[in-house]
Amino acid sequence: MWSTTLTRTLSFNTALMSAAVILAAVLGGGVLLIARRIFSRRKALRSLSYPASLMRGKTVIVTGANSGIGKATAAELLKLQARVIMACRDRRRAEEAAQDIKNQAGANQGELVIKNLDLASLQSVRSFCEEVIREEPRIDVLINNAGLYQCPYSRTEEGYEMQLGVNLLGHYLLTNLLLDLLKQSAPSRIVVVSSKLYKYGSINFEDLNSEQNYNKAFCYSQSKLANLLFTRELACRLDGTGVTVNALTPGIVRTRLGRHVNIPLLIKPLFLLVSWLFFKSPLEGAQTPLYLACSPEVEGVSGKCFANCEEEQLLSKATDDHTAKRLWDLSESMVGLRR
């Protein structure tokens, strides 16, 4: 009896303390939230400084354009009167996002097109590229935005570790198959979305496909480092073609990217508060890809990485030409471009 009462008392006290912590966090963060929202709005309006017709007559492909940074980027490009191709895996979600984007874009908007693309299937990538080459006379910008973050172990259609397959190999094949059209459309641009978490990765050539061991955090960081090395090698190969390629690290953004991360139920309210206080909104996160896609300031700039619309200095492992070349050659073989 005494033990049961004690247990109930401790449980009540624990719940009370948890509620107090959450309440204190909410009250204590109120002022910061207001300041954050005011400051964020000022930053988010940066895209409005571009001329309204800046992208008229230009065609832009955005992978993963149905949510998060990709959706926000597509929306801003549509406002700038671009022809935006939403390259998405889930047709239903893409159509819902497209309707939302159109409703927000206003009267003088560009054109929005949905095409199916599953980066976890190299056959899907090939089919997408065949359709684009057949139907589109030009591609002015390719934004490699889609990605997976710390998902449970799974494999792509071809048997590659999912984060490596989607974040690197799918985009590697996509970019290479569209290069001729991009060159014909020059001056044109390629934008690669990486992450600051590249700092915690390395290219494990001995087990690139994680067949011996799978660490979801390492594999994500490895794939984002691979994005930067891909950008560096591609920039060298495109020198003199009129096609530029640059990478970016968007920072921490409130998107569905972290949907595979399990947050304890008790901590979730506090996490949501912190995310609203300190994480970027998707529109804020979209400012750097938008900048690299259309700003005159980066015309002719290639092989660089940007953060907050400014050039970012990378760690030496992200600028290693030998590793970049080795990874390029291996990727070429893995996606079937090297016979």
pLDDT of residue 140: 98
> Is 58 part of any domain?
yes
CATH number at residue 62: 3.40.50.720
Residue 6 within a domain? no
The single residue of 50, 160, 198, 220 carrying the catalytic annotation is 220
Q: Is there a domain that residue 46 lies in? A: no
Residue 101: domain span? 52-335
Task: Give, to the nearest 10 degrees, the angle between helix 68-79 and helix 287-294.
Answer: 50
Query: How many domains does the chain fold into?
Result: 1
Q: Is residue 43 part of a domain?
A: no
Cis peptide before 187 (omega within 30 of 0): yes
Report which secondary-structure segment, H or E, holds 243. Answer: strand 243-248
What is the distance between the alpha carbons of residues 119 and 114, in angstroms, rounded to a whole number? 15
Whether 172 is covered by a domain: the verdict is yes
Give catalytic status of residue 172 as yes or no. no
| Domain contains 132 | yes
Q: Is 44 among the domain residues? A: no
Asked if residue 99 lies in contact with residue 106, where contact means CB atoms within 8 angstroms, the answer is no
Per DSSP, the three-state class of 193 is strand
At 149, phi and psi to the nearest 5?
Answer: -130, 115
Nearest-angstrom CA–CA distance, 202 and 228: 12
Residue numbers of the chain with a pLDDT score lower than 50: 1-10, 12-48, 257-258, 260, 271
Query: What confidence score (pLDDT) does residue 170 get?
Result: 98
Q: At what angle do helices 171-184 and 216-237 cross, to 10 degrees?
A: 20
Residue 20 placed within a domain: no
